[in-house]
Every structure is written in structure tokens, then in C-alpha cells.
């Protein structure tokens, strides 16, 4: 700086003031490069530290709580017998003062796996329950071009009866039904509806294709339909809560036995977990013993009997000789 009193300049300062010095960022901040390398190395060291940390051990769940009030996530979910669970649902309704005629539902969790990475395809099925719980009647459409068959279909409660003229209205969504039934003579003309109806397309394996129109109508007008959702879950209603316990159990077993027919018995059971609930209650996990069909045990008994017979044959032969 200039000296205000003497008016002279320090030697060499004039040149410094005239030409500003160019300072490199490296020389101005010698720690910059080291800071950058440190930042690059910081995430790696943190990741290594995370890897070195062992995952926390999860405390094993306890079986039964001792007190009436407890933390549910510290204990295993209780499993109930079917008759006991239905009785609990009825008691919940009385304590909560809810509607006595509310529906009873089941959530069925399925094991769809087969061998060699194959699995059971999601399916839908219809079954006749031993005890009906609703007055609703399904809307059934009958395909036939025979006037006598059409008259029989109308007499037995068909909602819509017709032939090829119905194809256009179905494709345009002008006509819709819960189920579609057909006689064999008209099937070659219904091919345009295959992609539209998909699973509801008349077929022999679905019992929706045949010559006995009254029998098909009686089944589909009163049947109960269920479908696999999210690849492995079935959610459906099975009864009303005010029905006798025996009727609720019979309806549940009928649906479960029908579900089990979609997987061969030589594999693991298709039903993995079963939960029952009402419209206003919590879900109760059920014990599967006594609910699933006893197909495997019967086969084992047959194998044991065959083995016993094979062992007895040599003994009998030796005695006869």
C-alpha cells in the first residue's frame, strides 16, 4: 500500500499491484486433492463397515402368552380347530352387537408349485354347496338353435336363450351373463366368442357343454364360483354367520375339497394356509388337520397292504411245499 504521509512506495510493490498474481487452485488449497480422494474413499469404507456388521439375530417367537394383554408380534399366531373358530366368530358378533346375518369368508393361501419349476395355472371353479346361504340366482345364457331345446331352457330358468344372433351382442357387451351354456351342435359357430368369454366359454370339463339342459341350468343357476387371485390366493364367502355351525363347516369343506382337485395328490397339498373370518371380525388361522381330503393316507395304506401281501406270499409258498 502507498504511504499516506511520505508518498513513497515500497520497492517491488508497484509491480505487484500492476500485475495481479495468478494463483493456481492447487497451490492456494494444497489440501483439495487430498480431500477429494478422502471423499471417494469414504463410501467404500462405510460399505465395508456395513458388510462387516452381522445382521441382528431375530428373537424366536414364543408360543402362548401368559397375560391377557401382550405384544402380538412377539408370539406365534394362534391356530384353532374349525369348530372352535366358528364358535369364536359367533361370540364376536354377540359381544360387538354386529349384524347376525353377516357373511363368513375364507382366505385360502395356495402352494401352486410342481416339479421342475412348473406350477398350477391360476384357475376358477364352480361348486354346488350343500347349504345355500343366499337367495341370489346366477344369470345363465343358453346357446341353441333347436326350438324345442330353447323352450326347455326357458322353462328351467334360463335368462337368455338364442343362437348365432347373440354373438354380435355379446362381442359388443350388449348382453352379459354369469355363465354360458351350449349344446354340442352349435359349438362350431361359437368360435368367435372364444377370446371374449375365455374361462366362461362352454366346455365339457366345466360341465357347461352338453345335451342335458335342465341339469346344466340347475347347477349353474345355484352354484358358487371362486377364482384364484394374485396367483395363489382365493378369497370367497362360504356362509352366513347365523347358520348352524355344521352347515358352515360343510360348506367350507366342500370348497376346500374342490380346490384340492386342481393339484395331483402325489405332490404337497395345494392348501398351505387357511383363514376364516366374518364381515366385522378378525381373521382366525385354522388347523388343516381334518379339513384336507385324506387322499395321501389312503394311498399309503394301499401300498402297505400290497407290501404285506408280498411278504405273506413267500411264507405261504414255503408252507405249501
Positive or negative: CA dihedral 42, 47, 53, 59: positive
Do 107 and 236 lie in one domain? The reply is yes
CATH label of the domain that carries residue 237: 3.30.190.20
End-to-end CA distance of the chain: 135
Same-domain status, 98 and 245: yes
φ, ψ of residue 71 in degrees (nearest 5): -85, 115
Q: So what's the pLDDT on residue 299?
A: 47
pTM of the model: 0.71
For every one of its 321 residues, what pLDDT tens digit does the chain have, with 9 covering 90 and above? 445 555 555 555 555 555 555 555 545 555 555 555 555 555 556 566 555 666 666 667 777 777 777 777 778 888 999 999 999 999 999 999 999 999 999 999 999 999 888 999 999 999 999 999 999 999 999 999 999 999 999 999 999 999 999 999 999 999 999 999 999 999 999 999 999 999 999 999 899 999 999 999 999 999 999 999 998 999 999 999 999 999 999 999 999 999 999 999 889 999 999 999 999 999 999 999 999 997 544 444 455 555 555 555 444 444 444
The enclosing domain of 165 has a CATH number of 3.40.50.790
Judged by phi (left if over 0) then psi (alpha if -120 to 50, else beta), residue 230 lies in: left
- Is residue 71, in this structure, part of any structural domain at all? no
Which of 172, 191, 223 is the last residue before a domain boundary? 223
Q: Is residue 181 part of a domain?
A: yes
Write down the pLDDT at residue 173: 93
- The predicted pLDDT at position 311 comes to 54
Looking at residue 319, its pLDDT comes to 43
Number of domains in the chain: 2
Confirm whether 11 is domain-assigned: no
Domain range for 215: 134-223
Give the DSSP letter of residue 119.
B
Q: Give how far Cα 73 sits from Cα of 61, 63, 108, 242, 275, Å.
A: 8, 11, 22, 32, 18
Q: Are residues 211 and 157 in the same domain?
A: yes
Which cell goes with 293?
Answer: 381330503
Residues 158 and 214 in one domain: yes
Q: Is residue 254 part of a domain?
A: yes
Q: Which three cell numbers stand for residue 255?
A: 370348497
**Distance in angstroms (rounded) separating the CA atoms of residues 290 and 249:** 11
Q: Are residues 194 and 256 in the same domain?
A: no
Tell me what pLDDT residue 66 has: 72
| Structural domain contains residue 117 | yes
Please report where in the chains the cell 394356509 appears, as a residue.
Answer: 273
Query: Residue 320: its pLDDT value, please?
Result: 46
If asked whether residues 109 and 244 sit together in one domain, one would say: yes
**Rounded Cα distance, 182 and 142, in Å:** 6
Q: What angle do CA 147, 149, 155 make, to 5 degrees?
A: 105
> Are 96 and 245 members of one domain?
yes
Residue that finishes a domain, picked among 223, 251, 277 = 223
- Same domain membership, residue 218 and residue 236: no
Locate 49 and state its grid cell.
Answer: 463397515
Alpha carbons 158 and 217: distance in angstroms, whole number: 7
The reply to whether 165 falls in a domain is yes
Residue 274 resides in a domain? yes
16 in a domain, yes or no? no
Res 65: pLDDT: 74
Q: Give the per-residue pLDDT at 294.
A: 79
Q: Are residues 157 and 213 part of one domain? A: yes
Question: Which of the listed residues 189, 223, 257 is the one where a domain comes to its end?
Answer: 223
Q: Is residue 209 located within the same domain as residue 153?
A: yes
pLDDT of residue 321: 44
* 214, 272: one domain: no
- Same structural domain for residues 252 and 105? yes
Partners of 226 in the β-ladder: 125
Amino acid at each position: 500500500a502507498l504511504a499516506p504521509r511520505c508518498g513513497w512506495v515500497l520497492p517491488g510493490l508497484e509491480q505487484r499491484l500492476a500485475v495481479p498474481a495468478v494463483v493456481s487452485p492447487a497451490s492456494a488449497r494444497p489440501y483439495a486433492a487430498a480431500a477429494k480422494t478422502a471423499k471417494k474413499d469414504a463410501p467404500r469404507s462405510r460399505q465395508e463397515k456395513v458388510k462387516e456388521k452381522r445382521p441382528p439375530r431375530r428373537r424366536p417367537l414364543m408360543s402362548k402368552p401368559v397375560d391377557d394383554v401382550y405384544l402380538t408380534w412377539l408370539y406365534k399366531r394362534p391356530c384353532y380347530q374349525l369348530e372352535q373358530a366358528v364358535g369364536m366368530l359367533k361370540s364376536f358378533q354377540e359381544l360387538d352387537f354386529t349384524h347376525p346375518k353377516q357373511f363368513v369368508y375364507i382366505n385360502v393361501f395356495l402352494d401352486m408349485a410342481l416339479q421342475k419349476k412348473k406350477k398350477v395355472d391360476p384357475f376358477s371353479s364352480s361348486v354346488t354347496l350343500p347349504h345355500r346361504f343366499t337367495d341370489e340366482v346366477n344369470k345363465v345364457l343358453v346357446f341353441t338353435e333347436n326350438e324345442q331345446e330353447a323352450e326347455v331352457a326357458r322353462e328351467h330358468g334360463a335368462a337368455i336363450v338364442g343362437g348365432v344372433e347373440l354373438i354380435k351382442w355379446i362381442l359388443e357387451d350388449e348382453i352379459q351373463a354369469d355363465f354360458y351354456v351350449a349344446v354340442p351342435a352349435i359349438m362350431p359357430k361359437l368360435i368367435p366368442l372364444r377370446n371374449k368369454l375365455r374361462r366362461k366359454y362352454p366346455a365339457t370339463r366345466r360341465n357347461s357343454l352338453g345335451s342335458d339342459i335342465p341339469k346344466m341350468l340347475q347347477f349353474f343357476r345355484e352354484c358358487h364360483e371362486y377364482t384364484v387371485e394374485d396367483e395363489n390366493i382365493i378369497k370367497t364367502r362360504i356362509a352366513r354367520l347365523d347358520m348352524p355351525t355344521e352347515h358352515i363347516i360343510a360348506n367350507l369343506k366342500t370348497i376346500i375339497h374342490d380346490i384340492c382337485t386342481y393339484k395331483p395328490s402325489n405332490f404337497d397339498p395345494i392348501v398351505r394356509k387357511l383363514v376364516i373370518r366374518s364381515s366385522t371380525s378378525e381373521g382366525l388361522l385354522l388347523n388343516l388337520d381334518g379339513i384336507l381330503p385324506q387322499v395321501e393316507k389312503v394311498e399309503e395304506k394301499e401300498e402297505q397292504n400290497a407290501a404285506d401281501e408280498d411278504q405273506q406270499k413267500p411264507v405261504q409258498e414255503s408252507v405249501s411245499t
